[in-house]
Amino acid sequence: MDAVTIVEDEVRETIRVRGIDPAEDPTGIRRLVDEAVADYDKRSLIASLPLLGKPSEAATRIFHSVAGFGELQPLLEDPGIEEVWWNRPDQVFVSRSGRTELTSVSLTETRVRDLVERMLKSSGRRLDYSTPFVDAALPDGSRLHVVIPDITRRHWAVNIRKFIARANSLDDLVRMGSLTLEAADFLSGCVASGLNVLVSGATGAGNTTCRV
């Protein structure tokens, strides 16, 4: 067993004993992880224990695993990534600036089930053979879509459309160069007049964000 796994198990046991909910107290969990990493780092100097490596990197990995979505957390926190998906666990893709990239993240079937279960926990939705597909929202507003066999051929298919708020008003769109001032005035007048406005575009273009 490697050092990170040992410390993670210790942190999980402390969380269980103290009855802490990581989703409700992430700051407390981060403090707990930092303390556990520092304690293990000291113990490894005088005992026959696997070396931890860089404490800060180990603490981040453990925190992501305990209070976040593990290997996926860095992808979800990356502001340049718009979408995360996979159709088989050892090939995780992302969309960055409209372009598809294969990441170095490799999951297992068991790990996928664990991560999906964790993602669905806050939504109250369920996924089983009587309900083989589900749409849900993650705590940050990102949209989760999961489909399992027998709808898929073999593996669980997972898609996460991240919620990226780059513009909150027509003024923001004008400032970013997405709209001219004249177009913004026209749209504002349409809304003020109660007219129907049709929003269309390719997948990933922000149609749903515009409607929201």
Thinking of the domain 73-161, which architecture would CATH place it in?
2-Layer Sandwich (3.30)
Q: Where are the domains positioned within the chain?
A: 3-68, 73-161, 170-211
60-92 per-position pLDDT tens digit: 999 999 999 999 999 999 988 999 999 999 999
Assign 3-class secondary structure to the chain.
CCHHHHHHHHHHHHHHHHCCCCCCCHHHHHHHHHHHHHHHHHHHHHCCCCCCCCHHHHHHHHHHHHHCCHHHHHHHHCCCEEEEEEEECCEEEEEECCEEEECCCCCCHHHHHHHHHHHHHCCCCCCECCECEEEEECCCCCEEEEECCCCCCCCCEEEEECCCCCCCCHHHHHHHCCCCHHHHHHHHHHHHCCCCCCCCCCCCCCHHHHHC
Write the pLDDT tens digit of every residue in 181-207: 999 999 999 999 999 988 887 765 666
Q: What is the pTM of this model?
A: 0.72
